[in-house]
Every structure is written in C-alpha cells, then in structure tokens.
Chain A
Amino acid sequence: MASIELKNLRKSFGAFDVIKGIDLRIEKGEFMVFVGPSGCGKSTLLRLISGLEDITSGDMIFDGKRVNAVAPAKRGIAMVFQSYALYPHMSVYDNMAFGLTLERGHSKEDIRRRVEKAADMLQIRPYLDRLPKQLSGGQRQRVAIGRAITRDPKVFLFDEPLSNLDAALRVATRIEIARLHADMDQVTMVYVTHDQVEAMTLADRICVLRDGLIEQVGTPLELYEHPASLFVAGFIGSPKMNFLTGPKVEAYGCATLGIRGEHMTIRPDGIWEGTVIHAENLGSDAYVYLDMGEAEPVVVRVDGTATVKSGEVLRVSPLQERLHRFDAAGRPIR
C-alpha cells in the first residue's frame, strides 16, 4: 500500500561511499528485486529503505511523505533476514507477537487472531508453541515470514531470505513468497538476491546494482532481451551470456558481440566452428563448452538427449535477431 521513492540517495560509512546517488521509484504493490555482485550495496540499500541505516544525503519518500528521519517501526515495513533472526528464547507464537505486544493498544485476542491468521497462511500453526531451535531451517524461515506478515506491513523487505535453505526448500519457499505476493497484492515487496532464478521468477521489475549505482531497471524480460550494458548482459541469465571479441566480431561492426547459449544451434552448416572442451548434461538440457578461439569457452545449450563428446568439432549458428552488439564502452548498439 505504499510507493517508495528514492531521490539521489547516498550512503557513506566514514569516508567510504557505498551508495552513490540512486534514483528509483517502486510502485505500490510492486515486487522489486535488487541484484548485483557481492558488495555492491544491495543490503545497504535495503537497510536504508527499512530505516535501520541512516541516510547520508538524498530523500526517501514513502507515499509522498519524506521518511528520512522516521524510525523503522513507524515506516510500516517488515523485514525478513537471511539468518531468520528469530528470537531464540521466545516461542514461535511470541516471536510473531513481539512487535504487536510492543505497540500499545492491541488486545490479547486481537494479537492472537492476527498471529493465527499469519500462521495459517504459512502452515505453521502446529509449531506455535515450539522454540526456534526445535524447527528446521525451512520452518524457521516461514516463521520469520509469518512474523513479518503479523505486523501487517505496507512494505515487505527481504534480504536473501532463501540463501540458507537447501535447493528443494528454496524452490518451495520461493513459490510460497510468490503466492504471498499474489495474495497481498497491495503490499510492496523489495527483495535482495544473488539467485538468477529468484530474480527472474519473482520480480515485477529487477534493479541491477553495480558499485553503489543503478546499472539498469526493468522487467525481467526487458533485462534479458535488451540489457543496457555489457555488465547487465553478463549478469542476467544463466548460463552467462557469451561475449565474443575475436576476429569473428568484425563482421558485425561492434567491439563485443553477445549471444546467449540458448540462442545458438548446432547444425552442419553453422557459421562458427569450435572444439568441444566439456559437456554438462542436466537431464532436460545440456551445456556444451566450445573452444572457438575466443578468450573464454563459448557455451551452447542443447537438448539433454544430444550426445556430444570432448574433442569433437562442431559447427554452430547464432539466431541473428538474438545477437547483442556492444561498443567499446560496453554500451549496446541498437
């Protein structure tokens, strides 16, 4: 129920600038995902939104009101941490109720009703009397999300909430978060992650950060199809986009030619030739690493049923309309 506006936002720790001037508008009910390499300032930006960290300069605006000096608890936000951050000495119920008991004016029944409602949404009702240490990692993270829901926030903040979970739980909890977002369509969510799949599947828009600045903001498909820079092109999508810089590129009139593994096909009349270095078969599909005389091996995605042997020489062709051309400064040529 809140739009968030960041205006020329900066944050320094002592002489060290971490956030170097960010302008961004996050719409009501939007799911915004922050991605970027480690240390680029994602968590710091999230903490600035939460109010846990003081703003060095610039403005933070919630629903048209400047909240620079507003305490975290008064911003109508809730946060879910990578480490869950459950209070270890309190039962699940008390963990979820803690925020409400600190606020004046909630009756016992009111608190119970809200905790139980949140617990039902996340199927953690049976664990309400347990201590956090008696829960599995996945259950703990659901409790942490439940604690956030209980506060009935206008803005949900997530800092890598799934990184401590194993692969299967990650998928399950990711789907849970997506469902939650659908159920609470008025609630704005800001989500920090390292994970490509989380970013692509959850986000309405993705914000790619690099070294304290925004590199590009857009829908997952916009970023995938029209990266605004070499950096974004290399960051979004898995496996990473191939960048060709060798003699082949000259024909295309650019410094770097980008092509994703899934946009190349192996065919006898392919225009490029390469030697298989290695092949990874994931079952559904396989990644073939080719030596094409480029600085790095070129990855081609093929069907999982294909059989490819190391040392084999293959010919590949890119889909012409999927080629990305970049100039020497790393900007796309359109």
Chain B
Amino acid sequence: MANQSINSHPVRDLVTVVLGVGLLLILAFPFIWVVLISFRPESEIFTRTFQLITTFTLDNYAMLLEGSPFPTYLRNSLVVCTVATIVAVVISMVTAYGFSRNRRFRGRQTLLIMVIATQLFPFVILITPLYATFFSLGMINNPLALVISYIAVNLPFCIYMLLGYLDTIPRDLDDAARIDGATTLQIIFRVILPVAWPGIVTVAVYAFVSAWDEFLFALTLMTSDENKTVPVGLAGFFGEYTTQWNLVMAASVVSTLPTLIIFMFLQRKLVSDLSAGAVKT
C-alpha cells in the first residue's frame, strides 16, 4: 500500500472503488432511506427516495421529542441497557478471571459447559417462566426485572469471550502484582482489566447492543407505557389502522444513535489500542 504511487494500477483501483461504493450503497440503502424520509413533511413521505427537491423539515423530530412519549422510552432504554452492560461486564470479568486463572479445580469443565448450556434455549421458551417469576416477585413494570434478564442472557457469551481473551494474558502479570501486594480484586481491575481493554470493549458493545435491540422480554415485562423501552415503544407507533410513518422514521434514526456513537467512539479506541500492541508485555 505504501508504494502505490510507484506501482499503481489506476483501472483496477477504480473498479475496486466503484464496487466498494456500490456495495456500501446497497448495504446502507435502508438506513439512508430512513434518514431521508425522517426529514420530510408527512405529505411527502411517499415521494421518490432520492428525489432531492423535497421540503426539508425538522417537524418530525420536534414532534417525536415533544409531542410523543418517545423521550421516556429513550431514557428507559438508556438506563436499563447501561446498567445491564456495566453489571454484565463486571460479573463476566470476575467470572472469566476465575476460570482463566484456576485451571484445575474440580467441576471446572462442568461449570463451563453449564454456562454454555444456558445458550441452548431459544429465549421464547424462557418468556413464560420469566414472566411468572417476576410476577410473583411483584416486579412486572420494574426496570430492574429487565436489567436482570439482560444480564442473565448476556453473561454466558461475555464470559466466554473474556475467558478467551484473559487466557492470552500472561500469568506472570498476576504474580508480579500479587508480590507487589495487590489483592485479587485489585489484580483484576487495576492490572488485568486495563490490559484486557480490547476484549472488554467487544463484550461491552455486544452486551449493550443486544440489550438495546431486545424486544420480547421488554414487551412482556414492561406493560405500562412509562416503562417501555425504545423497541417496544417504536412498535407502538405502528397503529392498527394508521401508521405515523414520519414519526417512525425519526424515532428509528434517534434510536440508532447511541449504538452508532458507541461504535464510533470505542472502535477508534479499540483500533488504536490494538495497533499500539497494548496486550504485549
């Protein structure tokens, strides 16, 4: 790549770029469509997608944020997903550390298989027992119920991801820290966690996004309007007879923002850390 100016193939490069852009357009088309429509007045939402001479308006966003319960959904989602993500990362970090550093305790293999086994169920069959449990605990419409469910559902994958990552971190680091007087928790959070940062980021993004997009649990466990999360709230915009398409589009755009921001922010950090060889000792 570095000496492309000397050894260049203009035609081949052009084809590559054209193909790349074309592919990108196909992939991004639904999103572009949603974004474009979200800035059009209701009367014009069925005009051609790329017809550029349409009225540009922020009315949809104004209505979404001021005249609909969407901000409540957004806040609910942010709170639930953030808390669930942080707790899932902390728990999976400690658990994965335990599995990674203790290779020979009795039952290790069985425990690991059990962790994986939880992933064998389709989540749909969990809905009824989950609902019954939270109902008897009086936790229907309590966001904590959703937080707990998301943590439980995300933990196995997080643990496995982190276990693979922690196994690559030399144990000498733990030993050095132990000799320096660190407790196990200090070793995990002050030595291993910063070194395992790229793995943590991957796991956190996974946990956040999967909670952010989750629909079934949220639909079942949060029945009152003020507790709904974005996916469920968004579904509510599809009325039985009429659908407020402009609102739906604006809401879709807003609801992708947190994920987008997280990805852009963390990816930069991730890439710079990886390329700097942060895991090398």
Contact = CB atoms under 8 A, between A and B. Distances in A.
B278 A85 contact: no
Contacts of B179: 50, 52, 72-73, 77-79, 99
Given A72-B179, A79-B175, A85 B194 contact: no
Interface in A274-303: none
Contacts of A89: 194-195, 197, 278
Contacts of A85: 170, 172-173, 175-176, 281
A47 B180 CA distance: 14
A211 B15 CA distance: 66
B276 interface: yes
Report which residue of A98, A147, A151 has the largest number of chain B beta carbons within 10 angstroms of its beta carbon: A98
Interface in B143-188: 170, 172-173, 175-182, 186
Contacts, number: 70
B280 A87 contact: no
B178 A133 contact: no
A13 B105 CA distance: 11
A18 to B, nearest CB: 13
Interface residues of B, number: 23
Interface string A197-210: 00000000000000
A88 B281 contact: yes
B20 interface: no
Interface string B175-210: 111111110001000010011010000000000000
A81 interface: yes
A132 B279 CA distance: 11
B104 interface: yes
A102 B180 contact: yes
B195 to A, nearest CB: 6
B120 to A, nearest CB: 31
Interface in A87-130: 87-89, 98-99, 102-103
Nearest to B175: A52
Contact of A13 (B104, B181, B277): B104
Interface of A: 13-14, 47, 50, 52, 71-73, 77-79, 81-89, 98-99, 102-103, 132-133, 147, 151
